[in-house]
Amino acid sequence: MEGIRTQTGQRNWFLICGLSVVLFGLTACAGPRGGDRTAHSESFFAMDTYMTFTAYGENAESALRQAENRITELEGLWSVTDTGSEIYQVNHSGGQPVAVSGETEELVSFALVMAENTGGALEPTIYPVLRAWGFTTDENRVPADHEIAERLANVGYDRVHVENGTITLETGTMLDLGAVGKGYAGDEAVQILRENGVSSALLDIGGNIQAVGAKPDGSYWRVGLKDPFSGGVLGVIQVKDAAVVTSGSYERYFIGENGKRYGHIIDPATGNPVDNGLASVTVISGEGKLCDALSTALFVMGLERAEDYWRQNKGFDMILVTEDGNLYVTEGIRDQFSLQDGYEDMAVDVVEFE
Ligand code: AMP
Ligand code: MG
């Protein structure tokens, strides 16, 4: 690939995010291989974001409806503002155990494992700090240091106890599954489509992309990587049977009176929005929830820690864009990634295993 050099050695509930990826090639066709290759599409609003599901094949229409219903069902369990949701009840239980469904238990357990795994970069109890910055209400403000410190005192994934189908939070602690829920929901939707015999589908879950199989003609799906500075498409990732999930502060941010940009992903070590030189992190793997958890966590970690994490954990690929306009691509995805016209001069470092 030209221009690539190699680097070695080294409110609610889900906030509305801009689409971080763009899809190409969702066209319907009746092909020479026969079978129903008509595209069926469904768009809806759930989890505070727009979702568009496209599937091919005989059962596609009814499978899409089931997938949408499942997403709505999960939203009902995990909303932080809906008083009927399980997460709302957990957050307002005054330290008492709350019985939850199997899926809520599974997702919270997964978030806790990933929090531990990422050294607390993923922090499912960051919600009170997020509120102090106004990201949950759109009344953005820069909180005083003492306010952040007070809120941080109740933040900590070790303050969440999952036991025998119940969740207990220590006093003052609140859960927010905004960094992982859409990925889990995507995995559920993919499973429903597969169970219904769908072997070709593309799901856009508010910018998280999940692909079932390849395109009906057997070629890979082409997923656009968004330029975090202009909103254009800077490159294309070709995938099949994979999730592609991006996190970046450009998705949702406000500009303070001092002219500084404050994004919606918080560094739990400081209680401040991440400001480490990364503009976006895209994670590619077979599993949506892993991609979702990691894209947020690696964005918090910054370039060097993200590279270390990738080398130690493997099982996924990533594309990092830095604020100074460089691109870092792990070696497993380099052949599936290409720059778009107009971006050929961008510096691309391939991150390799040592
Ligand atoms: P994502 O778009 O998946 O990166 O998730 C970002 C959302 O997760 C934010 O809008 C917050 O609701 C929440 N969040 C912010 N910072 C963190 C963090 N360090 N760990 C976990 N969730 C976070
Ligand atoms: Mg995430």
Express each pLDDT in 223-258 by its tens digit.
999 999 998 999 999 999 999 999 998 888 999 989
For residue 174, give the nearest of 85, 114, 257, 286 by alpha carbon.
85
What value does the mean pLDDT of the chain take? 90
How remote is the CA of residue 29 from the centroid of ligand 2, in Å? 34
Q: How confident is the model at residue 354 (pLDDT cuts 50, 70, 90)?
A: confident
Token digits of residue 55:
């599937």
Q: What is the pLDDT of residue 7?
A: 34
Q: Nearest ligand to the C-alpha of residue 293? A: 2
Give the closest residue to 282 by CA, choosing from 307, 248, 308, 251: 248
Shortest-distance atom of ligand 1 to CA 293: 3
Helices (H), 141-287: 145-152, 181-195
**C-alpha to C-alpha distance for 331 and 221, rounded to whole angstroms:** 19
Comparison of pLDDT for 159 and 10, the residue scoring more: 159
CA dihedral 280, 12, 294, 230 (to 10 degrees): -10
Confidence at residue 23, expressed as pLDDT on a 0 to 100 scale: 57
pLDDT of 131: 95
Q: Outline where 133-180 has alpha helix (H).
A: 145-152
Q: What single string gives the DSSP state of each residue in 80-132?
A: SS-TTSHHHHHHTSTT--EE--HHHHHHHHHHHHHHHHTTTSS-TT-HHHHHH
Residues 6+ apart with CB under 8 A from 310: 298, 316, 317, 318, 330, 351
Cα of 299 vs centre of ligand 2, distance in Å, is 9
Alpha-carbon gap, residue 65 to 249, rounded angstroms = 32
- pLDDT of 26 > 90? The answer is no
Ligand nearest to the CA of 87: 1
Pocket mutation for ligand 1, best pick of 126, 246, 265, 300 (most atoms within 8 Å of C-beta): 265
What is the predicted pLDDT for the residue at 21? Answer: 47
Cα angle for residues 278, 152, 115 (degrees, 5° grid)? 60
Structure tokens at 344: 């050929």
Measured distance CA(128)–CA(180) in Å, rounded? 17
Ligand 2 centre distance from Cα of residue 311 (Å): 20
Q: Mean pLDDT check: name the lowest of 3-17, 31-45, 129-143, 147-161.
A: 3-17
224 lines ligand 1 (CB under 6 A): no
183 pocket-lining for ligand 1 (C-beta < 6 Å): no
Structure confidence at residue 126 as a pLDDT band (50, 70, 90)? very high
- CB-based neighbours (< 5 A) of ligand 2, an ion: 179, 292, 295-296
Would you state the pLDDT for residue 277?
Answer: 97
Residue 36: per-residue pLDDT: 63
Task: Answer for the pair 153, 172: CB distance below 8 angstroms, yes or no.
Answer: yes
The model's confidence at residue 28, banded by pLDDT at 50, 70 and 90, is very low
Mapping DSSP to helix (H, G, I), strand (E, B) and coil, where does residue 4 land?
A: strand
CB of 247 shorter than 6 A to ligand 1:
yes
Strands 348-351 and 327-330: parallel
**Average pLDDT of 315-338?**
97
Ligand 1 binding pocket mutation candidate from 15, 296, 298, 301 (most atoms within 8 A of CB): 296
Query: Which residue, judged by its Cα, is nearest atom 8 of ligand 1?
Result: 179
Q: Beta partners for 160? A: 169
State pTM to two decimals: 0.92
Closest ligand 1 atom, residue 13 Cα: 12
C-alpha of residue 60 to centroid of ligand 2, in Å:
28
CA of 208 to the centre of ligand 2 (A): 9
Determine the pLDDT at residue 35.
55
pLDDT score of 24:
55
**Residue 92: pLDDT band with limits 50, 70, 90:** very high
Pocket test for ligand 1, best of 78, 126, 282 (most atoms within 8 A of CB): 126
Q: Is 266 strand, coil or helix?
A: strand
Ligand 1 atom at minimal distance to the Cα of residue 248:
4
Residues 6+ apart with CB under 8 A from 294: 114, 118, 245, 281, 283, 285, 316, 318
51 lines ligand 1 (CB under 6 A): no
**Stronger pLDDT, 170 or 18, i.e. the higher one:** 170
For residue 300, give the ligand 1 atom closest to its CA.
19
User: 173-198: per-residue pLDDT in tens?
Assistant: 999 999 999 999 999 999 999 999 99
The whole-number average pLDDT for the span 331-336 is 97
